[in-house]
Structure 1
Amino acid sequence: MRFFSVTLAILFLGIGNYWLCPALLAENLHFSIGSAEITPDVQAPQAVWMAGYYPGRAATSVHDPLFARGMLLSDGQTKIALVSLDLIGWSYPSTIAIREQLPEIDFVVICSTHNHEGPDTIGIWGESFIKRGVDEQYNQHVEKTIVHLVKRLDQSQQPVTVEFATIDRPDLVHDTRQPIVIDPTIRVLRFRSQMDGSTLGLLVQGTTHPESLGARNTAITADFPCYTQKRLKQHFDCPTVYVSGAIGGLMTPPAAGIVNDKGWPVRLTTFAYAEAYGNEVADAVAEALEKGQPVDLTPFRILRKEIAIPIDNPLYRLARSLNVIRRVSYEWTGQPESWGKRVTREFRPDRAAAITEVSLLQLGDVKLLGIPGELYPELVFGKIPNPADANVDFPEAPPEPHITRFIGDEPYLLLGLANDEIGYIIPKRQWDREAPYAFGRGAPQYGEINSCSHEVGPIIMDTFAELCQRAQSPTGEP
């Protein structure tokens, strides 16, 4: 009886009354967060070729450091690491190599913010179109840094509770491609200490390309997410892991309407703009968390599927033949679940395929969707023209299953460029490469030039639909 009475007293008195919140009873959820620098050496004899826009842009200085920012979650049975890089992208083969070095972690997710002001880690932004831009030693350094970061996080876990919040900020997103469709929703998870309720870390999913500095900048920078994370540090005195969401299409920061802390308008492609915009995103996160709701992130379920996607893009195929892109490919069989022989100099099929991964992490009440590229917002909300716009290439293509249809009202975050960068993921019905062009245009819109194939959208979304169906099954089977 004495033990029972003492237990009741602890439950009702608690520490700062935090035990009164049901979410705090999820004792099995443990969390850690941290970062490690991955800034390239721009003073080295070898040029650091900057990713994005066009080849031949060599870095001349460092404005702010680049980081790998990560968190580790454990439900007592399963460990999941999530790392976000201040880089243009990270390939699936490199993700696999990292996982192999972390056998103690059940699943590792490597995201990229898609920063256009960092080094080329893919290959297509070298000195010229026919020269590879990757410094292999740098990529190996990033790989080792991620492994060391995750191992360090595995040594510093503590029990936490979690809140989920969203806020719609359409004024912070600009769509440069018709039809105009955006995902305006910033989504965030807040991790609090079970001991004193302090905020230990944030996972923030943004809505736009980090490209506020533009193509003329030659200073290494993390772009606006650098300022977002600095501002959130001021708000909550904790680290942040920032990831990009459905940024395909092309979601960019708006050219007008952004002001600094003094209320003065700032011009796009300046560091003043990057800071002001990053602060706006951070302040939106802080506003969202004023109405954050407790969620339970346990238990964990990891659902993933390796799939093949055809590489029909002629520029990508040329880049591979020139050794600009170095990635193993296989014969495209017409089926994403299977692929043929490995492509070699002696075996060159008419259509080749790359292997990538789609993932779904069911963390208690919340889903994290691992998107291996840049998803068009149309595929989040199903806002695909019906009937199709005149002159598109595949007007009879059935609309892909979209995220809100198979997730419903469940809380979720989009992990853009998760574990791979396969380029734009475009609704097939909006594919428009052949004349005459939609919307009365005299030339194709930007997008298809950076997509592997018109088949990618259907393949990716069908796979997500399958994974969500498996998430509803007790065994995880279709």
Structure 2
Amino acid sequence: MRLFSVTLAILLLGIGNALFCPSLLAGNLHFSIGSAEITPKVDSTQAVWMAGYYPGRAATSVHDPLFARGMLLSDGNTKIAIVSLDLIGWSYPSTLNIRERLPEIDFVVICSTHNHEGPDTIGIWGESFIKRGVDEKYNAHVERTVVRLIKSLNQSQQPVSVEFAKIDRPDLVQDSRQPIVIDPTIRALRFRSQIDGTTLGLLVQGTTHPESLGDSNTAITADFPCYTQKRLQQRFHCPTVYVSGAIGGLMAPPEVGIVDHNGSPVRLTTFAYAEAYGNAVADSVAQALQSGQSMELTPFRIYRKEVAIPIDNPLYRLARSLNVIRRISYEWTGQPESWGQPVTRDFRPERAAAVTEVSLLQLGDLTVLGIPGELYPELVTGQIPSPAAENVDYPDAPQEPHIDQLLGDAPYLMLGLANDEIGYILPKRQWDREPPYAYGRGAPQYGEINSCSYEVGPIIMNAFSELRQRAESPAGEP
């Protein structure tokens, strides 16, 4: 009888532990975070062509390492990996390569910070305009590194709670294209251990291009996100994954107003500026998290859509014909949902298209938008001129759905350059390539030169609208 009582007590204790242990609760959020270095080797044997600004900028040194920083989330049924690369961009075909090697992960998101001080991973910043700048072995190395990182994260999951926070810092964003529209909101997630409450990791969405070093720098660096993550590591004793948000339309760090730890102004295009600016972003995150709100991030629902976008940009078309950009393109049929046969030497349609992906992740109460390029803030806030500015090319173009309209007051994060880099995504009625030009200008503004087509904005935003409708439908089926 005594043996039975002891056995029963042990059994009941085990049941109690199963009921109250966070790791065993159904639908509980599990999390892991980590990083892996992806710094290219800079020596005299082979040039490392740096991305951004102009071709012919070869790296001469390494100031600080580049990383793939990632996290893995699980709701008990579905696993989602989010990885951010300290790179200019990452192509959709390469993302698909990584996904194929990770069948155990339900959805993989590969973002880029859009770092202008790392190696060319796209092709258009080589030795000259007609020479490809990608080191194929390096890109393959990044793919393998990301796969290994995610596999390691899959072995170290633990239960967490989450807090969401945001803060507006318009003083940290500068727009040099008219009309002046910014998204000033820095957004962040804080993951806490359900065992002891310690902070295990942060996900931070910033607001500007990582280009504080400028076009004369030839030292490999992760730019200001390096300092943002260092500062947050010191403050919270945990890793951070930093992603860019709506940085299209020339969102950049401001030329003035940034001061160092002594309160002295620092000059743009210096490492002192990158550090001061990165620290300012980190301090904003820390301030926001002081009033962070608890949030339920389960269950997961994944919505994605492949769409074709026409490649009308003459420079992109030339780059493809010269094999500077190596990416399969297809006949543009006029319909984003369907595309024609692949373009070959023998089949060259009048208009070609690239296939990309738009994604919407519904993580409990949080919506996470996967944007395959550099979204203009106008397509977040809806601040699109109405009526259109005089002399734009498509003044009567309908206004695209915008994010604040689609999501209302619901909390969200944007993952810019997610799974692809298709360039700028701007409202069609702001397209201005042909004279006469808007705002009394004698030349076009910068922006369209790095966009595939005037049709990209409507295609991408209509895709988001469709995904949002699917998420809100009674069935909510992915």
With normalisation by structure 1, the TM-score equals: 0.95
Whole-angstrom CA distance in 1 between matches of 2:90 and 2:98: 11
Equivalent residue runs for 1:399-438 within 5 Å? 399-438=399-438
Matched residue SS, 1:264: coil
Kindly provide the CA deviation profile for residues 408-432 of structure 1, in whole angstroms up to 9, marking residues without a partner as x: 1111000000000000001000000
Per the alignment, residue 105 of structure 1 pairs with 105
State the partner residue of 2:296. Answer: 296
Offset, 1:196: 0.5
Contact in 1 for aligned 2:32/2:156 (Cα 8 Å): yes
Kept in 1: contact 2:81–2:105 (CA 8 A): yes
Aligned equivalents of 1:257 and 1:363: distance in 2? 37
Residue correspondence of structure 1 range 200-219 to structure 2 within 5 A: 200-219=200-219
**Distance in 1, Cα, partners of 2:206 & 2:26:** 27
Indicate conservation of the 8 Å contact 1:360/1:370, yes or no.
yes
| Alpha-carbon shift at residue 26 of structure 1 (Å) | 7.8
In the alignment, what sits opposite 2:164?
164
Task: Return the offset for 1:46.
Answer: 1.1
Equivalent pair of 2:37/2:67 in contact (CA under 8 Å): yes
Range with bigger deviation, 143-152 or 41-50: 41-50
- 2 CA distance for matches of 1:391 and 1:2? 81
Partner of 1:247: 247
CA distance in 2, matches of 1:249, 1:26: 44
2:30 alignment counterpart: 30
Q: Distance in 1 between matches of 2:101 and 2:208?
A: 32
Deviations 1:306-356 (A, max 9, x none): 000000000000000000000000000000000001100000000000000
Code of the aligned partner of 1:62: V
How far apart, in 2, do the equivalents of 1:121 and 1:27 lie? 38
| Residue 477 (structure 1) shift | 5.2
Instruction: Report the alpha carbon displacement of residue 473 of structure 1 after superposing the two structures with TM.
Output: 2.0
Q: Distance in 2 between matches of 1:385 and 1:178?
A: 10
Question: What amino acid sits opposite 2:309 in the alignment?
Answer: I
Residue matched to 1:58: 58
Structure 1: how far apart are the matches of 2:314 and 2:475? 41
% same residue: 80
Please state how far the C-alpha of 1:109 moved relative to its aligned partner.
Answer: 0.1
C-alpha separation in 2, matches of 1:338 and 1:226: 41
SS of structure 2 residue aligned to 1:284 = helix
Counterpart of 2:463 in structure 1 is 463
Contact 1:70 1:82 in 2 (8 A): yes
Rounded to whole Å, the distance in 2 between the matches of 1:370 and 1:111 is 9
AA of the residue aligned to 2:285: V
1:354 aligns to 2:347 (yes or no): no
Deviation at 1:43, TM superposition (A): 1.1
Aligned residues: 469
Residue identity in the other structure for 1:360? L
Q: Which runs of 5+ in 2 are unaligned?
A: 1-7
2:42 is aligned to 42
Give the TM-score normalised by the residue count of structure 2: 0.95
Shift of 1:212: 0.0
Give how far 1:273 is off: 0.1
Q: Distance in 1 between matches of 2:40 and 2:9?
A: 62
Cα offsets for 1:390-422 (capped at 9, x unmatched): 000000001000001110111100000000000
- Structure 1 counterpart SS, 2:227: helix
- Does 2:147 align with 1:153? no
| Backbone CA RMSD of aligned residues | 2.1
Secondary structure, aligned partner of 1:108: strand
Find the counterpart in structure 2 of residue 370 from structure 1. Answer: 370
Describe the SS at the equivalent of 1:298: coil
The Cα offsets for residues 284-312 of structure 1, whole Å up to 9 and x where unpaired, read as 00000000000000000000000000000
Deviation, 1:104, is 0.2
Cα shift at 1:475 = 3.4
Aligned equivalents of 2:296 and 2:398: distance in 1?
36
Checking the alignment, whether the CA contact within 8 Å between 1:26 and 1:161 is kept in structure 2 is no
How do residues 66-85 of structure 1 correspond to structure 2 at under 5 angstroms?
66-85=66-85
